[in-house]
Structure 1
Amino acid sequence: MYRAARRYSIVVATLAAPLLLGSAAQAAGSTADGRVRISTAYELPGDRVYPEGIAADPSTGDLYIGSYEGGAVFKATPGQRVAKEFLPARGDGRSQALGLEVDRARRLWVVDRLTGVAVYDIPSQRLLARFTVTGQGARLVNDMAITPDGTAYITDSRRTVVYRVTPAELAKASEQGGETPLTPAFDLTTVVEPHGPDTITLNGIVAEPSGRYLLTVDMTGGDLYRIGLPSGTIDKVALHGGDIATGDGMELQNGTLWAAHPIKDANAISRWRIGSDGRTARMTRRITDQALQTPTTLLRKHGRLYVVRSQFDKGGPTGPGIPQLPFTIASVRGI
C-alpha cells in the first residue's frame, strides 16, 4: 500500500470459496516466536472503524489509515499514541477508504472500492481530483502503487485490470474539476488463472523502486504477476518455497517483498526475496499469530512493519462477532 505509502487491499464476504495454502507454504510457515515482536503502535478512535489501508508521508513520518466502514481517514503522528481523524467518514461521497498512497507532492490518494480514487492535498485537506470507474459491471477498486515518475496504478479485483493515472492526467483533472474516468492500462483476464464468478483476483500491488515493473497478487490463485514498465509485458513470477494465496497488501523494499494474509484465519505475514529482474520470488519466512488480528496490509519504516489489524472477522465484512476495541495498528519487528 504503496511505494508512495500502501496499500488496499480488501477482504469481503463474497470470497466464499475456501482458500487453502499450498503444502509447501504450510511447511514454510511458522508461528511468531521470540525473535518476532508484535506490539501496538497506534490506536484508532471509533467502534466500527475496520481499518484497511495505510500510507506514510515521507516528509513528516505521519501515517494515514483508511476505514472500510464509512471511508474515514485517520492521521497517526509519531510520538502520539492515538490517531486523529483527518478526513471524515462519508466525506466527498466516500463510502470506504481502502488502498492509500502519498506521493512526493504530499497528495493523499484514497481508493473507494465502488467509485474509484480521490486525490487530496495533505496540507489543506482539499479534494483535488476524482477518478471514477465507468460502466455498470461488477468492480472492486482495491489497492494502488505509485512509480517514481508520479504515475498511479490501481487494481480492480473484479475486473482483473490495472488502471493508470499519469501526472498529466492528474493535473488536467485537478484543473477541470468534476470526475474523470479511470482508464484501464493492463488487462490480466487472459493471464490470471480462471476462477469462479465474483472471485477476488488482483489485490495488492507494489512498484519496483526504480519504476521498472509492478508486482500484483492474485489472492485467490496464489500467484504473483510482474507487469513490465513501460512495455506492459505481463509474466507470472516463478515462486519458490510456497505460494502467495490469500495475499493482500504488500510492501517492496531492497529486493524484499512482504505480504499480509488475512483470510481464513491465516493471520500471517510472508517474506519473499525477489530476483534482480523481478521474475522470481523465494519465500524466506512466514509467521502466523492471532495478535495480527486479520492483517490486510502493511508498510515498512525504520526497520519495522506497521500492520493494519482490520478485525474483518469480528463483526466486519467477513465474519460475525464483536471487535476488540480500540482498533489498532501493530508494530512488528523481526521479519
Structure 2
Amino acid sequence: MAQLVDAKGDVKGRAVLTESPGGVDIAISVRGLPPGRHGFHIHEKGLCAPGPDASTGETVAFGAAGGHFDPGHSRNHGQPGQPLHLAHAGELPNIEVGADGNGSLRYLNPNVSLSREPSSVFGRSLVVHDQPDDYVTDPAGGSGPRLLCGVISADRPSSSISGRATIEGTAVYPEGIAVDTRTETAYVGSTRDGSIWRLPSGADKAELLQAGGAAGRQAAFGMKVDPAGRLWVAGGPQGNVAVLDVATGMTVANLQAPKGSHTFLNDLVIAPDNRVYVTDSFRPMLYRARLALDGGTSLEPWLDLSGTSIRYQPNQINLNGIVASPDGRWLMAIQLVTGQLWRIGLADGMVTEVAVQGGDLRRGDGLALRAGNELYVVRNQDNEVARLDLNSDWSSARVTRRWNEPEFNFPTTAAVGRSGLMVVNAQLDKMKQPPPLLPFDVVTLDVAP
C-alpha cells in the first residue's frame, strides 16, 4: 500500500497494490483535491520529500521522488500499458476528481511487479499531479506540480521493521555497519568509493563523516567501533584496514596486509584480547592487529587456513562475516559460498565446523552477535536475516527464526543497537545492472522475542 500525503504531511489518499499474473492491480482513492483530471504516476525513488525539478533544477514538493519509473530505459513519456521500450512503466491513467474533491481509480499495470526485478515497484513512490497527463509531453505529460506522494510499502501491520534511515547518493552501495555502544551512533560505509556516513541514534537520515579516497581508502566493507571511539574499516580488494577517529572524522592509521594477488579483506571483529581480527574472502588467511596500534603499518598474518578444515573455493566469496565470543575463547566466521559456520579458537587456532540445525545458510554475508549466544546471519541474495541460538561452547547452533521482510533489498551486514538490529540494504546486485532503488537505506529489524 501507499499512504498519500500532501506537502504539509496531511493524509489525502491511499492506494492498494496487489500482484497478479497480469501485472499489479492499483486501486487508489483521494480526497480534498481540486475537481478535474489529475496525472498519476509511479516514480523511481522511494522518498516523498522536497527535491529538484528535473527540468528547472528548482526545489519542488516531492521532487526527491525523482522521475517516472522507467525500467525499460525508454526515456519516453507515453500511454499507460505501452511496451517497456516505448514508454515509462510508471505511466498510469488520470484520476477523475469530482466536485466534492474525491476521486478513485483502479488500473492493472502490466509492466510492473511487486517482487520481480527489474520491474518491481516495491519501495518506490506514487505521485498525484495538479494537471491532467496528455501522455505526449516529456518528461511528465504536462501534468504540473506534484500534489500528493506516497511510498509503496508492505501493507502488514505486523511487519518486523520498526525504523528506516536513508543515505543520499545515487551510487552509494553501502555494505558495512558498526554501532558505537557509547552513543548508539551508527556508521555506514560505501563499497563504491569508501565514503563513511554517520547515523546518530534515532536519526532518519545519515550525514557524511568522511568522503571516499581519504588516506587511500577507495572502498569500505566490514566495520567496527573500538572502546576508544575509533572506527576500523576493512578495505576489500585494497587489502587494507583504515582506522578513523569518529570524533574528528580523521584517519589515524592505515594498516596493510602483505602484498599479494587476489586479496579481499571483507570483515573484522574486535576481540576481548584487544586485537582486531580480519577475514580475507579470497586468500585462506586470518589477519590481526593490536588495538594499541603499536605494530607498525602492517596487518599480521595470524592463522593460515589452508591447513584446516576450511576449503576455500576459487573465484568465490569464502570467509566473510566474523564475530568473537564475549569470554575471549572463540571467533566464529561464515563461509558465504558454502553457508558453513566455523568456530576458531583464539588460544590455539583450532578450526571446527559448527553443527547447524534448521536449514540453509548459503550466501550468508554479515554476522551480528547479541547477548553472547544469539547469532544473526544476513543472507544477501535471499533477502533474509536468520537467527541462530548457539550452545554454550559454540560447537552447534539451531536456526530459530527467519525474517524475509519486503523492506530487505540485498542486505549484507547488520549491527545490534538498542532499538533492534540495524540492517544495511546494499543492493550490490544492482551494481552491474543499475539503477538501484533510491535512496539507499538502513532498516531496523525488531528482533525481540
Q: Compute the TM-score of the two structures, normalised by the length of structure 1.
A: 0.83
- Is 1:65 equivalent to 2:188 in the alignment? yes
Selected match of 1:167 from 252, 277, 291: 291
Q: CA deviation at 1:324?
A: 1.2
Provide, for residues 81-106 of structure 1, a one-character-per-residue CA deviation record: whole Å limited to 9, x for no partner. Answer: 21110010111111101111100010
Residues 262-284 of structure 1 deviation map (CA, whole Å, 9 limit, x = unaligned): 12xx1011110001001111111
CA distance in 1, matches of 2:156, 2:359: 20
Secondary structure, aligned partner of 1:227 = strand
Q: Does 1:197 align with 2:314?
A: yes
- RMSD value, Cα: 2.0
2-structure distance, mates of 1:164, 1:196: 22
Q: Deviations over 1:106-158 (max 9, x none)?
A: 01111111231011222222322111122232101100000123210000000
Over the matched positions of the two proteins, sequence identity in percent amounts to: 36
Q: Give structure 1 stretches of 5+ with no counterpart.
A: 1-31, 174-179
| Alpha carbons 1:35, 1:334 under 8 Å: kept | no
Q: How does 1:1-335 map to 2 (within 5 A)?
A: 35-113=158-236, 114-168=238-292, 170-173=293-296, 180-194=297-311, 196-254=313-371, 255-263=373-381, 266-314=382-430, 316=431, 319-334=432-447
The CA distance in 2 between the partners of 1:80 and 1:227, in whole Å, is 37
Mapped contact 1:261–1:269 kept (Cα < 8 A):
yes
User: For residues 82 and 41 of structure 1, what CA distance do their matches in structure 2 show?
Assistant: 9
Contact 1:36 1:332 in 2 (8 A): no
Check conservation: 1:55, 1:299, Cα contact below 8 A: yes
1:120 aligns to what SS in structure 2? strand
| Contact 2:264 2:281 (C-alpha < 8 Å) held by counterparts | yes
Instruction: Kindly name which structure, 1 or 2, has the bigger radius of gyration based on alpha carbons.
Output: 2
Q: Secondary structure at the match of 1:291?
A: coil
Change in Cα spacing, 1:34 to 1:283, as seen in structure 2 (3 Å) is farther
The letter for the 1-side match of 2:197 is F
Contact kept? 1:223, 1:243, Cα under 8 Å: no
CA 1:196–1:232 in 2, change beyond 3 Å: closer, same or farther? closer
For residues 255-311 of structure 1, the C-alpha deviation after alignment (integer angstroms, 9 at most, x for no partner) is 110010012xx1011110001001111111112234210000001222511000001
Deviation at 1:194, TM superposition (A): 3.7
* Residue pair 2:214, 2:251 contacting (<8 A) in 1 also: no
Cα gap change, 1:196 to 1:143, in 2 (>3 Å): closer
Gaps of at least 5 residues in structure 2 are 1-154
Change (3 A) 1:33 1:279: farther
The number of equivalent residue pairs is 293
* Post-superposition offset of 1:184: 1.6
Q: Distance in 1 between matches of 2:201 and 2:291?
A: 30
User: Displacement of 1:243 after TM fit?
Assistant: 3.4
Letter in 2 for 1:271: R
In the TM superposition, what is the alpha-carbon distance from 1:45 to its structure 2 partner? 1.4
Q: Please state how far the C-alpha of 1:193 moved relative to its aligned partner.
A: 4.9
Relative to structure 1, the CA distance from residue 321 to residue 127 in structure 2 (aligned partners, 3 Å threshold; closer, same or farther) is: closer
Deviations 1:152-205 (A, max 9, x none): 00000000221111235x1343xxxxxx22222122223355454211110000
How many angstroms apart in 1 are the aligned matches of 2:246 and 2:309? 36
* Distance in 1 of aligned mates of 2:188 and 2:216: 18
Counterpart residue number, 1:6: none
Tell me how far apart the structure 1 counterparts of residues 310 and 330 of structure 2 sit (CA, whole Å). 21
